[in-house]
Amino acid sequence: MKFELPKLPYETNALEPVIGQQTVELHYGKHFQAYINNLNNLIPGTKFENMDLVDIVKESDGPLFNNAGQALNHNIYFLSFSPNGGGEPAGELAEAIKQGFGDFENFKKEFNAAATSLFGSGWAWLAKDDAGKLSIVKEANGGNPVTKGLVPLLGFDVWEHAYYLDYQNRRPDHVNALWDIIDWKAVESRY
């Protein structure tokens, strides 16, 4: 199976000022593309050659895991944004957040704390288990909650390449701003 970069549902400048055009072009067009290219170069002739991306992440290790994990992570990340995003989720996801975290503001506070306290590079995730119970999961490097049997719903990339051009070393500012562009319909579709 050959993996491809997903088409963005918005223009590269559409997320400004939260994420600048240059950041999107470098992060999506260079970093994400490199993970896809590396993944496609690593799987031929292996047992992973015809697997879907989630199964590769669950079953691989080393360079294959790193590139597959980052391909999956960035796919979820970039398809969770909209220039008309923000606000709060609705429906079952909103109820699950209320049940698990008390209310949306407390959820955001806990999620931001996870994203800003992660040492080094990695991801903060909102994930669900088979019963629909939500949790916030911190993953280093290219980790993804699928390796823990969870379904990733929303991920914040806290590698410096995701925010350095726009926020320099101000990770908390970046994390706080991302809430303004979350496409909750996309996130809810994963729930």
Phi, psi of 11 (to 5 degrees): -75, 160
Q: Is the pLDDT of residue 162 over 90?
A: no
pLDDT at 23: 96
Q: Quote the domain boundaries for residue 32.
A: 20-191
- The model carries a pTM of 0.94
pLDDT in tens, 80-112: 999 999 999 999 999 999 999 999 999 999 999
pLDDT tens-place string over residues 128-151: 999 999 999 999 999 999 999 999
Residue 165 lies in a domain: yes
Specify if 10 maps to a domain. no
The Cα–Cα gap between 69 and 144 comes to 6
Describe the strand order of the beta sheet including 151-157 as a list of residue ranges: 134-140, 122-128, 151-157
Identify the CATH number of the domain in which residue 43 sits: 3.55.40.20
Q: For residue 93, is it within any domain? A: yes
Question: Does 11 map to a domain?
Answer: no
User: Does 28 reside within a domain?
Assistant: yes
Q: Tell me how crowded residue 32 is: count the other CB atoms within 10 A of its CB.
A: 20
Asked if the model's pLDDT at residue 165 lies above 90, the reply is: no
Domain contains 12: no
- Structural domains in the chain (count): 1
In a domain, 15, yes or no: no
In a domain, 2, yes or no: no
Give the Cα separation of 179 and 100 in Å (integer): 19
